[in-house]
Chain A
Amino acid sequence: MKQNGNNGKPLNVVGKPFRKVDARAKCTGQTKFADDIFLPRMLYCKILRSHEPHALIKKIDVSKALALPGVISIITGKDLPIPYGILPVSQDEHALCIDKVRFIGDPVAAVAAIDEDGAFDAMNLIEVQYERLQTITSIEEGVMIDEPRIHEYGDGGNVHKKVSLEFGEVEDGFAEADLVREDTFFYEGNTHLPMEQHAAVAHFDSDEKLTLWSSTQTPHYVHRALTKVLEISASHIRVIATPNGGGFGGKSDPFNHEVIVSKLAMITGRPVKCTLTREEVFYCHRGRHPVLMHIKTGVKKDGAITAMHFKSFLDGGAYGSYGVASTFYTGALQTVTYEVPRYKFDGIRVFTNKPPCGPKRGHGTPQPRFGLEVQLDKIAEALSLDPVEIRRNHLVKPNSVTANYLRIGSMGLGACIDKVVERADWKNKFSWPVTEPRAVASGSETQLEWQDPLATARGSVTRKLPYGKGIGIACSSYICGAGLPIYWNNMPQSAVQLRLDRQGGVCVMCGSTDIGQGSDSILAYIVAEILGIDPFDIRVVTADTDLTPVDLGSYSSRVTLMTGNAAIQAAERARELLTIAVAEKLKVPIENISFAERRAFDVENPEVGVSFAEAVVLAESKFGTIGTVGSYTPPRSPGKYKGAGVGPSPAYSYSAAIAEVGVDADTGMVTVERIWIAHDVGKSINPVLVMGQVEGSVYMGLGEILMEEMSYRANRNVVHKIPSMLEYKSPTTMEMCDVKTFLIEDPDPNGPFGAKEVGQGPLLPVPPAVANAVYNAVGVRVDEVPITPEKVLKALREKSKGRDGRFGPESIPSVDWPEPLRVLTPDEGGDGREMPRVSVHS
């Protein structure tokens, strides 16, 4: 199969475990993060945040604060009246609240002072009078309570967004099914917890241009937001994304502190810095939405799905953020792993008086993936099928289009499953859980044996692992970049500019943002591969809206695929110019010229050639300065219905994970001993970096399933219980499990050299694999994330009383769903558009 960038030559850089181009800086403390910037006469900013969860602002008095020596400026909402937000449909944030606060942590006023302590003291002297409003604290309340409204827009009351889509007649599918299961799941919210707190420094230059350095994953969107809110031309604003000390989606929105320091820099004429405290980072949040789910799935006896009806209820917190996209994402990717011929999705996102939720690694898809994979396990048991077989036998086919019009390219999930099943020794470990021992005679002694009550039907008599030890499997898939940009336009999503120096230096410029995943290095590797030079010969300049062409940012796992393709195009264009000049000089046909080892040479006579620097000189002599550009626009999606914008991607990555756990039935403690994970990355541009993403994803998924949660006091105040790193539990070295990583390479024609994403996808199978393993170990289902010891114990107690050994949500709120938008599936001859709505009375 032809892949972008690969002309059949052996690869010298791509696929090799090179160091990252910034590795040395990161290991010597030289990398400059946003808070490492100190400028002469710089002021320090502190933001006063609301202590009320939902209240009208009646009065703000800054006089005492302003009188404090060293305080230079204080601003409030009236200084920044224009709203903004990441999505064009949710422009619902103000950098400083104007007349109302919506959660504890909402910004109200900001101080700039000559030192940080002074700014902090002044902040505490600002007096705010509030008039309290009733709080909305949960999904149920968001659905049920219409007044007071947190926002004056959305789909009525406190509902931000409500959607209903149906692909094919799901009722027909349920009628065909041999088994229909309905399950309810809950996935608690959690947060990114990047090690680096957000920080931003703004400076209004003497030429009246604003520069903002910020730890942001999306400098282009920050640039757009600043242009809008500050009412100055984009050409007078420069946004530089500093290397992010971890992002995971948490630095993808334009943030109030970025707007605030910019405004304060304009007012004071001095540089202004704001570094958030760890507590403030918890209020910034934009993390995983708490999602309540109800899944109805019909299957044939062999496990083939006939129809699925998925309902999701999202707790959005206080603002829109990416929430509309998040809502669609909770319904989009159910169809890309196993065949789902008919599919219906109902989704609702409500506003609550909590820190706003947004995109965290996997954006809106780990929650439904958890529900789907656990339900599939329950279905497999009900049908006496092996959980591996029910998955392996019904995989989506490569090069197909799903019922909801997602075009699948390469699909390596089968290979992923086969690899982990073999390496984990699944066949010798898995049996359906047997939790009642019986006494059996063994020679002269009597022993306890864990017998399966349906032993004959299942063909196994005893547990293969001892009680308390379990094994579970789950699979998943993720997009390699969103098919559509966040704001509607016809321009490329990614662009690369290349400049070749006559002494052989190469500079790659791209708007992409390195958040630790290695995107700067990917640019260097790809350009080096095509030009036949060493990646460390290359200077990479990224994430600077003045110097680099637009890349939309580090989100939706888009960077390697999109910047990679743009880099290939730019580099091939440069290589073409060099090839023409070198062929002319060497007097050989153009197709004979090849580039490797910093040389351009005749493939038929490799000693005849010139150095790379000489090749540039020849090309520059012939054509003038050598600079090329490349850009990438994703292919158009076959889906044309309203709502088809979320889910399409140039390619889909696939993962399969097996977890082996120990569960202590006395304490409820779950210990994950090992995870085997295989990830179909298409092609590793750099395998060691791919492994790092897989292992990091496993780690983050492990944190989510075992301990991480955003939790609030159970009173009306919606106070965050645990805004500190000590109390917000995340895995340390002592909790992290052993990981066996397998890289599967099923190249995708849309990927650079066949590459697909790896940054987010491998998180997805981990929570359900662990949940399934817990069931396998002790025979109880915790249909809720995280699986804490308390929940395991409650389920075990239920079971010991002869009841269903399950912990999880019992019901879902009653919602008046809109008439679904109906779309015929490709199999039904659909064209990707919705069917005309038919009046109920006609």
Chain B
Amino acid sequence: MNQKSHISFTLNGETAEVAFAPHKTLLEVLREDLALTGTKHGCELGECGTCTILVDGRSILSCLMLGLDAEGRRVTTIEGMAEGGRLHPLQDTFADLGAAQCGYCSPGFLLAAKELIDKLPNPSRDEIKEALSGNLCRCTGYIKIYEAVELAAARVRGEAMELPRESLYGCE
């Protein structure tokens, strides 16, 4: 019971090893044993999407995955999204459009959105809604999030897209 388990895996591009009580979820291991508190929790029951991370490029709810199951996997958390000091285009557009208000759900949304645009470089508004439907946000009404994803996707595609005026100043 008190024996700790040990895993090694790839965490944000680096090899990591960690020992923890075997019943812990990956969410708990990340936050409590690896001090990566960027991954948040809203319910710890798989209902809100706040603890979304990427495992082998796929979004998963870290509150529903045992830490033990991360052995040998490739895990990306919000701390690994920027490259060096350079923000991922999604992080830039979330910041520019106020898609992060309180910011508590933002890490989960950013990673879920990253999975989407990695797979689908030019998602429609409906595809964005579908992809993010497992993540709850109580601040934004989601609209600035959609706009930020669309803008980031365009930039990743290499299109020089400006911040839309209606998104910044309201409709005329």
Contacts and interface: CB of A to CB of B under 8 A. Distances in A.
B104 A278 contact: no
Interface stretch (B3-11, B67-75, B130-138, B154-162): B130-138
B165 to A, nearest CB: 9
A733 B78 CA distance: 21
Given A689-B98, A743-B169, A730 B103 contact: no
A28 B91 contact: yes
A248 B160 CA distance: 37
Contacts of B32: 38
B43 A724 contact: yes
Interface in B134-148: 134-144, 146
A17 B168 contact: yes
A674 to B, nearest CB: 12
Given A27-B95, A726-B47, A195 B138 contact: yes
Contacts of A692: 98, 101, 139-140, 144
Q: Which of B44, B48, B104 has the most CB of A within 10 A?
A: B104
A518 B143 CA distance: 17
Contacts of A423: 171
A19 B96 contact: yes
Contacts of B77: 29
A36 B37 CA distance: 6
Contact of A740 (B133, B136, B171): B171
Nearest to B79: A29
Contacts of A247: 102
Contacts of A517: 101
Q: Which of A32, A244, A696, A739 has the most CB of B within 10 A?
A: A696
Contacts of A689: 98
A760 to B, nearest CB: 13
A724 B45 contact: yes
Contacts of A725: 42-43, 45, 47-48, 136
Nearest to B131: A733
B37 to A, nearest CB: 4
Given A27-B106, A196-B40, A518 B141 contact: no
A40 B18 CA distance: 19
B139 A29 contact: no
A27 B101 contact: no
A698 interface: yes
B32 to A, nearest CB: 8
Contact of A248 (B38, B44, B138, B144): B138
A741 B167 CA distance: 9
B170 A197 contact: no
Interface in B82-116: 82, 87, 91-92, 94-98, 100-107, 110
Contact of B170 (A246, A734, A743): A743
A26 interface: yes
Contact of B138 (A695, A730, A741): A730
B59 interface: no
A196 B77 CA distance: 18
B79 A730 contact: no
Interface residues of A, number: 63
B141 A195 contact: no
A196 B104 contact: yes
B98 A195 contact: no
Given A725-B47, A739-B141, A733 B94 contact: no
A194 B41 CA distance: 11
B140 A695 contact: yes
A743 B78 CA distance: 33
B50 interface: yes
Given A24-B95, A29-B78, A740-B171, A277 B136 contact: no
A699 B140 contact: yes
Given A33-B40, A518-B101, A695-B144, A27 B170 contact: no
Q: Which of A277, A517, A691 has the most CB of B within 10 A?
A: A691
A725 B167 CA distance: 30
Contact of B78 (A28, A36, A196, A699): A28
B167 A691 contact: yes
B129 interface: yes
Interface in A187-206: 192-197
B87 A246 contact: no
A826 interface: no
B97 A688 contact: yes
Interface in B23-42: 31-32, 35-42
A134 interface: no
Contacts of B44: 277-278
Nearest to B169: A687
A310 B78 CA distance: 51
A684 to B, nearest CB: 8
B142 A733 contact: yes
B81 interface: yes
Nearest to A31: B103
Contacts of B138: 192-195, 246, 248, 696, 699-700, 730
B95 A516 contact: no
A20 interface: yes
B107 A29 contact: yes
B91 A27 contact: yes
A691 B39 contact: no
A22 interface: yes
A695 B96 CA distance: 16
A696 B42 contact: no
A245 interface: yes
B170 A741 contact: yes
B90 to A, nearest CB: 8
Given A17-B168, A725-B48, A516 B42 contact: no
A724 B47 contact: yes
Nearest to B137: A195
A515 B102 CA distance: 6
B102 A732 contact: no
A23 interface: yes
Contacts of A511: none
A20 B170 CA distance: 18
B102 A195 contact: yes
A730 B136 contact: yes
A736 interface: yes
A634 B41 CA distance: 39
B89 to A, nearest CB: 11
Interface in A233-287: 243-248, 277-278
Contacts of B107: 29
B169 A17 contact: yes
B110 to A, nearest CB: 7
B100 A27 contact: yes
A410 B59 CA distance: 49
A281 B134 CA distance: 21
Contacts of B91: 24, 27-28
Contacts of B37: 29, 32-33, 35-36, 38
A733 B103 contact: no
A605 interface: no
A687 B35 CA distance: 36
Contacts of B103: 22, 25-27, 31, 243, 245, 516
A489 interface: no
A699 B42 contact: no
A703 to B, nearest CB: 9
A444 interface: no
A153 B142 CA distance: 44
16 contacts: A26-B102, A27-B87, A28-B79, A30-B38, A195-B48, A197-B41, A243-B103, A245-B104, A246-B102, A246-B139, A278-B43, A687-B170, A692-B98, A724-B43, A724-B47, A725-B42
Given A33-B40, A688-B97, 18 more contacts: A23-B95, A26-B95, A26-B103, A27-B94, A32-B37, A245-B102, A248-B138, A423-B171, A688-B144, A695-B144, A725-B42, A726-B45, A732-B133, A732-B134, A733-B132, A739-B143, A741-B171, A742-B170
Interface of B: 31-32, 35-45, 47-48, 50, 77-79, 81-82, 87, 91-92, 94-98, 100-107, 110, 128-130, 132-144, 146, 163, 167-171
3 smallest CB-CB distances across A and B, nearest first, come from A29-B38, A516-B102, A26-B103
